Amino acid sequence: MTISRRHFISGMGSLTLLGSPLFNARAASMKKKNFVVVMLRGGMDGLTAIQPNDSKMQKVRPDILVKGVKKLNSDFNIHPRLKSFYECWQDGKASVVHATSIPYTLRSHFDGQNLMESGGHTPYTEKTGWLGRGIEVSALGGLAISLPMPLLLRGNNTLDNFFPTWMSLPNDGDLSVIQSSYSEGSALAEVMNRVRSRPVSMMQRNGDNKAHELAVVAAQELRREDGPRVAVFDIGGFDTHAAQGGEDGAHGECLADFDKVLSTLRHGLGDQFDQTLIVTLTEFGRKVEQNGGYGTEHGYGTAVLMAGGLLKSPQVYADWPGLATKNLFERQDLNATTDARSVYCSAMSACFDIDFKTMQDKAFFGDPLKDLTDQLFKV
Amino acid sequence: MKLDFFRKIGFGLAPDEEIPSDPIAWAERQVEKPAKLTWPGQIPSEQELLDHRAEFVYQDRKVIREKFKNDRKAYEEAKTQLRYKTGERYFPSLETVIRHHAAVKGEAPVFERLWHFWCNHFAISEKDMLDRWNTGGYQREIIRPNMCGNFTDLVKKVTVSWTMIHHLDNTQSVGPNSKWGQNRRKRGEPATVNENHARELLELHTVSPAAGYTQQDVINLAYIMAGWENKWSKKREECNPVDFNAKKHEPGTHEVLGKGYKQRGISSKTKLFDAIEDLCAHPSTRRFIGWKLVRHFVTDDPTDEMIAPLIKAWDETDGDLPSVYKALIKVVYDHTGSHKKFLNPEVWLLQCVRISGTNWPPSPEVMAYDFKSKPRQEARQPSIIMRELGHNLLAPAQPNGWPDTEAEWLSPELLIRRLAASSKFTNDRKYSVFVDYHKVAEKNFDAMDDIKYFLHKAKNVDFYSNPKRMGQALFSSEWMLKV
């Protein structure tokens, strides 16, 4: 099963880049900061990535407990496959928010992924994403560079997506005739305008479009002073109901995929890594107890992993609820004591230089979120 | 006459096809019983494909890993040979060809559209190589023959199919109080159910979240399902027929949506079928399916009024699918012209092919395969094209299948791919044919006059008048993308 899951993961990679300040007055007057969101689909297990020092773990996860972990502090250890992440930690450029989740507790991937991207409360009701709305309020619109446009980014009608094909496009004269059939002002016409204004350099394909290969392009683009400011990655395969395993198991492989994206970005960004914030996003965590197939079931509380020079200090930020059965959500899951949207709202506020309250109102419907900017980020 | 109807409900009319004089009767005739597949080449059986998978997984997991553990290069070479021998790189493309052939050459395009719909409703997502050997056979042998009967029977067949059980992990389920569960717990091992399949049976396949089920309902349904497994054996791993293993089944009566399911007769396996019958008869199910059908064919935003005739047909026949399809056909006809639907990449491509007579899919000669070497580029082309269009048929990312709205299918990159494919299919000599586009317009479009003017512009876009440009422009036009 491990082999095929690997295949699944590598096939899933996609990347979205956006926010060219070229045409944008506000962006031009700001110091360039980069914001990268890595979506971990399937339910990332915070207890595997960042393990609490708690004897209960051994008891409820005898067959899948990760050995060879590295110590972060007296309370938490990190999975050995998060190698670059751990290096960032040692350099003061990584942090973790633990016992956190989006406010969704019903354990469905589809509803959960819809909500992690929309930032709302009822699945399939919001047509836009929190990051799209955050970009909108920041007036950082412009060029975007992925195959399907993720819901996370919708809400900003100046977005563009990029995921190069080997086929070639008709020439612009032909495109102009084709466009004459598109209803004026329609979404179709709007998208065609963006296609036709695309530079030739964006029409070329190199490599296989895997997540870490796209990370090379992402780093190049983000690094440019006049390049995009936001990138979104999509990594799948975290739904490990079986063979979740220890160090070399399916969940470890997925974490390693994330780690590869991180190391590629860090390397490619160079000095710009100090002006960058990378955060993870997942639909839910996994149950504390292992199941019969050496995997775990859908849970609730998880962790957000963050890296980059815009972090204040290496820390595991958590109002830790503990793993005693009475403290678990529905007596089975790590509880979430921090709304993960507080982290994302604070992160956008820090990266886009917009006050927290405005971001809260515009991107998260004025929901009661906590301003964590001072605790987590350099402002 | 509403010519657009033939594309709204089917794939349009081929150059040699007559315009049916009674479109509704034409469509209704196609949905009474399953149409035969038209592919003239080999069609492998689900069992044959499962045998290929069995060989692959056993050799891969148990033999070559051990044999070449100290020689990585030899291991990789052995694995490549194994891929060829079991058709791992070949079958997904063949399945695409079988499907496309029926759509563009067959005489039941309405049935084919509905088949595509159900394949996506009971989707198998990209997981554990199911797309290589299993998903296609499942679609042909589990869904296709059962989609012109009662909805309940279709759900029963799908739920206990090898592919769906593997896809949603039901083999992993062990009832905590089952015989196995008790033994495991005695040894200090955990024994729990895997909720995945139960949840999707409720959420995606039948009642949908609108029914208001709870987490406890999901767990209870998982108890009811526990024991349905793909039998494991040493030499074939999981690749054995579906079986009900009473030793893993959670004993007792469990309630789902307020009704308890208890054993009738000597086997507890009937509990699942009893539960499925009630789920399928639930009012949320007919509403959910009706809404999804209307959304697929008519508009992204179905109204209650559009869904009502489908629900009524379901009410009157207890879920007889052909009756529901006939109600749908009338709704589609009535809203042709007034409501447009942005087509997904596959339907769009197949319409471009059928109305123009484009040379697609590749022939049985091109698709011939020796199971010894890498399949030829041309034979892999069907998979490659679908992937490039962003619609890798057998491998949607999630169990909820491919999206079905304009917002999800319309982006610069996805539009670029359609534009590029339009160009490829009209310019590449492998596919292009001589086409009288004026006749195509007269047969397939209510806006035929606007289209003729448009074709004239496309042909003469620059100094060199080029008739091939008409096809490229028509394929990429709004008339083709939306209907």
The ipTM, to two decimals, is 0.92
- The DSSP output letter for B233 is B
pLDDT at A226: 72
**Which chain A residues are closer than 8 Å to B216 by Cβ?**
none
> What is the rounded distance in angstroms from the CA atom of residue B461 to the CA atom of residue B450?
16
Whole-Å CA distances, A12 to A83, A210, B380, B398:
22, 8, 20, 11
> What is the rounded distance in angstroms from the CA atom of residue B396 to the CA atom of residue B124?
7
> What is the rounded distance in angstroms from the CA atom of residue A4 to the CA atom of residue A11?
11
| Rg from Cα positions in chain B | 24
**Which chain B residues are closer than 8 Å to A167 by Cβ?**
388, 417, 420-421, 423-424
Q: Which two tokens stand for residue B453?
A: 């003017």
At residue A246, does pLDDT exceed 80? no
Helices (H) and strands (E) in chain A, counts: 14, 11
**Of residues A21 and A180, more confidently modeled:** A180
Q: Whose CA is closest to A305, among A85, A3, A157?
A: A85
User: What pairing do the DSSP bridges indicate for beta strands A338-339 and A94-101?
Assistant: parallel
Q: Is B63 on the interface with A (CB under 8 A)?
A: no
Q: Which two tokens stand for residue B135?
A: 């998903």
> What is the rounded distance in angstroms from the CA atom of residue B210 to the CA atom of residue B410?
28
> What is the rounded distance in angstroms from the CA atom of residue A43 to the CA atom of residue A282?
6
Q: Do A292 and B188 touch (CB under 8 A)?
A: no
At residue A16, does pLDDT exceed 60? no
- Alpha helices by DSSP H, listed for B176-303, are 179-186, 196-200, 215-225, 270-281, 283-297
- Residues in chain B with pLDDT < 70? 72
Q: Which two tokens stand for residue B221?
A: 């349904």
Q: Tell me the three-class secondary structure of A48-85, residue by residue.
A: HHEEECCHHHHHHCCCCCCCCCEECCCCEEECCCCHHH
**Of residues A158 and B113, more confidently modeled:** B113
Q: Do A293 and B169 touch (CB under 8 A)?
A: yes
User: What pairing do the DSSP bridges indicate for beta strands A50-52 and A14-18?
Assistant: unpaired
pLDDT at A13: 44
Report the C-alpha dihedral over residues B137, B95, B418, B431, rounded to 10 degrees.
Answer: -160
> What is the rounded distance in angstroms from the CA atom of residue A145 to the CA atom of residue A232?
10
- pLDDT confidence of A20, banded at 50, 70, 90? very low
**Of residues A232 and A54, more confidently modeled:** A54
How remote is the C-alpha of B474 from its chain's centroid?
A: 27
Three-state secondary structure call for residue A245 = coil
Q: Which of A15, A17, A110 to mutate: most B Cβ within 10 Å? A: A110
pLDDT at B477: 98
- The DSSP output letter for A97 is E
pTM: 0.79
Query: How close, in Å, is residue B413 to chain A by CA atoms?
Result: 6
Find the distance separating the first CA and the last CA of chain A, reported in whole Å. 45
CA atoms within 13 A on the CB side of B11: 32
**Which chain B residues are closer than 8 Å to A106 by Cβ?**
215
- Nearest chain B residue to A61, by CA: B190
Q: Which of A110-119, A153-162, A260-269 has the lowest mean pLDDT?
A: A153-162
Q: Is the dihedral of CA A235, A236, A241, A246 positive or negative?
A: negative
pLDDT at B65: 74
**Which chain A residues are closer than 8 Å to B172 by Cβ?**
241-242, 291-293, 295
Question: What number does CATH give the domain A2-166+205-376?
Answer: 3.40.720
- Is residue B461 within 8 Å of A177, Cβ to Cβ? yes
- The DSSP output letter for A32 is P
Q: Is the dihedral of CA A23, A25, A26, A30 positive or negative?
A: positive
The rounded mean pLDDT for chain A is 85
User: B249-268, pLDDT tens digit by residue?
Assistant: 999 999 999 999 998 888 89
pLDDT at B188: 82
- Is residue B328 within 8 Å of B117, Cβ to Cβ? no
Q: Whose CA is closest to A102, among A75, A77, A82, A129?
A: A129
User: What pairing do the DSSP bridges indicate for beta strands A338-339 and A14-18?
Assistant: unpaired
Q: Which two tokens stand for residue A149?
A: 């446009």
**Of residues A284 and A10, more confidently modeled:** A284
User: B357-398, pLDDT tens digit by residue?
Assistant: 999 999 999 999 999 999 999 999 999 999 989 899 998 877
What percent of chain A stands above pLDDT 90?
Answer: 58
| Rg from Cα positions in chain A | 21
Q: Do A167 and B388 touch (CB under 8 A)?
A: yes
Three-state secondary structure call for residue A135 = helix
Q: Which residues are A355's β-sheet partners?
A: none
User: What pairing do the DSSP bridges indicate for beta strands B228-230 and B242-244?
Assistant: antiparallel
Query: How close, in Å, is residue A178 to chain B by CA atoms?
Result: 5
Q: Whose CA is closest to A287, among A303, A298, A274?
A: A298
Q: Do B406 and A187 touch (CB under 8 A)?
A: yes
- Nearest chain A residue to B468, by CA: A174
Question: Chain B window 428-467: which residues touch A at a Cβ cutoff of 8 Å?
Answer: 454, 457-458, 461-462
**Which chain B residues are closer than 8 Å to A170 by Cβ?**
419-420, 422-423, 472, 476
Find the distance separating the first CA and the last CA of chain B, reported in whole Å. 15
Query: Average of pLDDT values for A128-134?
Result: 90
